[in-house]
């Protein structure tokens, strides 16, 4: 637990020192593990979240699919014209990118709200707090499972070469979700304490959408390749998009994403060890 | 054997106003931190001391009532016992499965059917889906809601929702039960039936800690009581004595 607060010492700083204490780390790891054990609970909660949004509408959750379809078609036709692209290649590329981007951005945006939204439950339920991060990820995954059909429809229509590389997709999604988990825990924690963080994250993610090659192709940016390769989201999108378009996986993208995974988890474990027990006080 | 031990437990809440919660102010303050560092803590965040040096030891069979004014720290103490708040200092050792029943309808979803809510509520209480399905008939029978269970609970009256929540919440017997203000349930006819069930339920629980403003409820249910004031334990002993002292305190 914690030391007493010394006068003149900011509580945030004094708690920070606990991030490296072994018992605190063990507790944080236990919280994440015990959260996984309660998966029946958070899977049900996530399902209810999704259903609640579309309850009593005729199409239900298929609105997710439909709105993604409208988006891809409209943007595809528009930007295909602007960029002078052949729709046979461009539309599948856009659909794949959009679906993957939807997954990544929702993981970050929902993740930062994970603890804030669960305020009432956190203060009344003696469950590991990590269940709220899992819950957000699961509803994101449900939305993704609805969206990916848009890609397959477009891919079949334009005769994209769907080959054995498709088998890389589940692995890529798994790695993205593991990244999403640390992002939810980390940004969720930060947002619970500083309520501007979700707003900042929201606008940064919006900018990243345009900076990351989702609606434009990496080849369209010949001179500034460095800016592209320094963008972690480019690599995250690419590990899932490439196999969708039938391309073999590229080592560079995978290495970068795995590096993000390890560094991200190391930082998150430190902060989660130090501040996890404060979440109930903050929300 | 369930047991709870608290040693020198203190809990304090930082009170964040809108301005201390914003990152902008935090950054600006850090930048100018050099000047105001001497009294930085007191300026930035006011701290509410909710619990102070609590020592308490509970064994199997204990029925403890928490009494005290509003804001005396009763609910905070219950949350510490339930593991929701980890204290700032001191040690908490809890042995046994704990269920905090502060709001028996926590997590119920208005748009879902009665059956779905039984499952949802059961999952909240730590049951698995399989265990809930095994108890489903018994719970459904007890609620007497019949066909209504297939309708969304937003079509229920408040009393009907209460029956449902009550039936599920009393279907799991934990080692340690934490209650805030007791459990209320439905209309008069149902109340008798509920009382019976509540009694059978509470008899099987090892330790009950109940916070309430009702002297009657406390003296009916609890063998010992704790009187709290300003986050401290004022006295701890047999219910009658503690309640008497509380009456004197209130004037």
Other CB atoms within 10 A of residue A137 CB: 24
Q: What does the pLDDT average to over B207-221? A: 87
Contact call for residues B23 and A196 (beta carbons, < 8 A): yes
What CATH number does residue B52 fall under? 3.40.50.300
Query: Within the 108-127 window of chain B, which residues sit less than 8 Å (CB to CB) from chain A?
Result: 109, 111-112, 119-120, 123-124, 126
Query: Within the 46-105 window of chain B, which residues sit less than 8 Å (CB to CB) from chain A?
Result: 47, 79, 82-91, 98-100, 102-103
A52 contact residues in B (CB cutoff 8 A): 109, 111
Going by pLDDT thresholds of 50, 70 and 90, the confidence category of residue A4 is very low
Q: Which of A38, A46, A194, A204 to substitute to test the interface with B, most B CBs within 10 Å?
A: A194
Parse chain A into domains and list their residue ranges: 22-282
A-to-B residue pairs, Cβ atoms closer than 8 angstroms: 96
The candidate with the shortest Cα–Cα distance to B181, out of B120, B241, B93, B104, is B104
Q: Which position has the higher pLDDT, B225 or B17?
A: B225
Q: Which residue of B has its CA nearest to A281?
A: B13
> Measured between CB atoms, which of A2, A40, A52 is closest to B111?
A52
Q: What is the pLDDT of residues B52-104, one digit of tens each?
A: 899 999 999 889 999 988 888 888 999 999 989 988 888 999 999 898 888 88
Q: Which residues of A touch B (CB under 8 A)?
A: 1-5, 7-11, 38, 40-41, 44-45, 48, 51-52, 55-56, 120-127, 193-197, 200, 277, 280-282
Say if strands B63-68 and B224-229 run parallel, antiparallel, or are unpaired. Answer: parallel
**Residues A126, B82: C-beta atoms closer than 8 Å:** yes
Highest mean pLDDT among A178-192, A217-231, B132-146: A178-192
Q: What is the pLDDT of residues A187-200, one digit of tens each?
A: 999 999 899 999 99
Number of domains in chain B: 2
**Residues B23, A123: C-beta atoms closer than 8 Å:** no
Domain extent, residue B121, equals 101-205
Query: What's the CA gap between A90 and A97, in Å, rounded?
Result: 10
- On the question of pLDDT at B160 being above 80, the answer is yes
**Residues B100, A125: C-beta atoms closer than 8 Å:** yes
The answer to whether residues B164 and B138 belong to one domain is yes
> Measured between CB atoms, which of B14, B45, B88 is closest to A2?
B88
DSSP state of A229: H
Say if strands B232-238 and B224-229 run parallel, antiparallel, or are unpaired. Answer: antiparallel
What is the distance in angstroms between the Cα of A195 and the nearest Cα belonging to chain B? Answer: 6
The answer to whether residues B112 and B193 belong to one domain is yes
Tokens of A189: 């924690």
What is the distance in angstroms between the Cα of A206 and the nearest Cα belonging to chain B? Answer: 20
Contact call for residues A186 and A197 (beta carbons, < 8 A): no
Q: What is the pLDDT of residues A258-268, one digit of tens each?
A: 999 999 999 99
Q: Which residue of A has its CA nearest to B132?
A: A40
Query: What's the CA gap between B182 and B201, in Å, rounded?
Result: 13
Angle at A153 between CA A152 and CA A155, to 5 degrees: 60
DSSP state of B96: S
Q: Which helix (H) or strand (E) holds B207?
A: strand B207-211
The answer to whether residues B66 and B29 belong to one domain is yes
Window from A164-178, A191-205, A222-236, B25-39 with minimum mean pLDDT = B25-39
């Amino acid at each position: 637990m914690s030391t007493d607060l010394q006068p003149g010492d900011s509580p945030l700083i004094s708690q920070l020192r606990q991030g490296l204490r072994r018992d605190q780390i063990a507790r944080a790891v236990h919280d994440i593990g015990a959260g996984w054990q309660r998966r029946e609970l958070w899977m049900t909660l996530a399902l209810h979240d999704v259903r609640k949004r579309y309850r009593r509408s005729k199409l239900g959750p298929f609105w997710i699919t439909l709105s993604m379809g409208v988006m891809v078609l409209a943007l595809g036709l528009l930007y295909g014209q602007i960029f002078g692209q052949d729709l046979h290649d461009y539309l599948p590329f856009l659909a794949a990118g959009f679906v993957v981007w939807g997954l990544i951005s929702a993981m970050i945006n929902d993740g930062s709200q994970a603890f804030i939204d669960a305020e009432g439950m956190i203060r009344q339920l003696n469950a590991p707090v990590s269940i709220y991060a899992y819950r957000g990820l699961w509803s994101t995954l449900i939305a993704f499972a609805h969206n990916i059909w848009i890609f397959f429809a477009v891919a079949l229509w334009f005769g994209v070469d769907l080959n054995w590389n498709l088998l890389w997709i589940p692995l890529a999604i798994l790695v993205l979700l593991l990244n999403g988990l640390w992002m939810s825990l980390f940004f969720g924690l930060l947002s619970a304490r500083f309520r501007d963080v979700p707003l900042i994250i929201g606008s940064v993610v919006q900018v990243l959408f345009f900076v990351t090659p989702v609606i434009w192709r990496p080849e369209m940016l010949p001179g500034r390749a460095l800016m592209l390769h320094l963008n972690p989201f480019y690599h995250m999108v690419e590990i899932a998009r490439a196999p969708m378009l039938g391309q073999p996986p590229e080592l560079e993208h995978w290495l970068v994403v795995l590096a993000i995974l390890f560094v991200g988890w190391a930082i998150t474990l430190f902060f989660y060890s130090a501040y996890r027990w404060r979440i109930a006080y903050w929300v | 054997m369930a047991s709870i031990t608290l040693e020198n437990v203190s809990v304090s809440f930082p009170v964040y106003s809108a301005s201390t919660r914003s990152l902008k102010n935090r950054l600006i303050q850090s930048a100018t931190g050099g000047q105001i560092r001497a009294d930085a803590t007191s300026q930035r965040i006011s701290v509410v001391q909710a619990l102070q040096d609590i020592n308490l030891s509970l064994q199997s069979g204990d029925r403890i009532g928490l009494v005290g004014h509003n804001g005396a720290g009763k609910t905070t103490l219950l949350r510490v016992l339930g593991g929701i708040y980890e204290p700032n200092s001191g040690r908490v050792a809890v042995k046994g499965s704990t269920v905090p029943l502060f709001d028996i309808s926590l997590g119920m979803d208005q748009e879902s059917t009665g059956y779905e809510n039984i499952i949802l509520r059961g999952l909240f209480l730590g049951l698995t889906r399989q265990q809930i399905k095994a108890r489903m008939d018994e719970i459904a029978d007890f609620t007497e809601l019949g066909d209504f269970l297939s309708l969304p609970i937003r079509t229920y009256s408040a009393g009907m929702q209460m029956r449902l929540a009550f039936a599920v919440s009393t279907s799991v017997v934990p080692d340690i039960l934490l209650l805030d203000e007791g459990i209320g349930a439905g209309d008069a006819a149902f109340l008798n039936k509920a009382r019976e069930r509540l009694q059978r339920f509470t008899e099987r629980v090892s330790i009950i800690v109940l916070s309430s403003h009702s002297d009657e409820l406390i003296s009916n249910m609890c063998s010992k009581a704790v009187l709290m004031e300003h986050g401290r334990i004022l006295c701890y002993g047999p219910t009658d004595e503690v309640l008497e002292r509380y009456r004197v305190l209130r004037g």
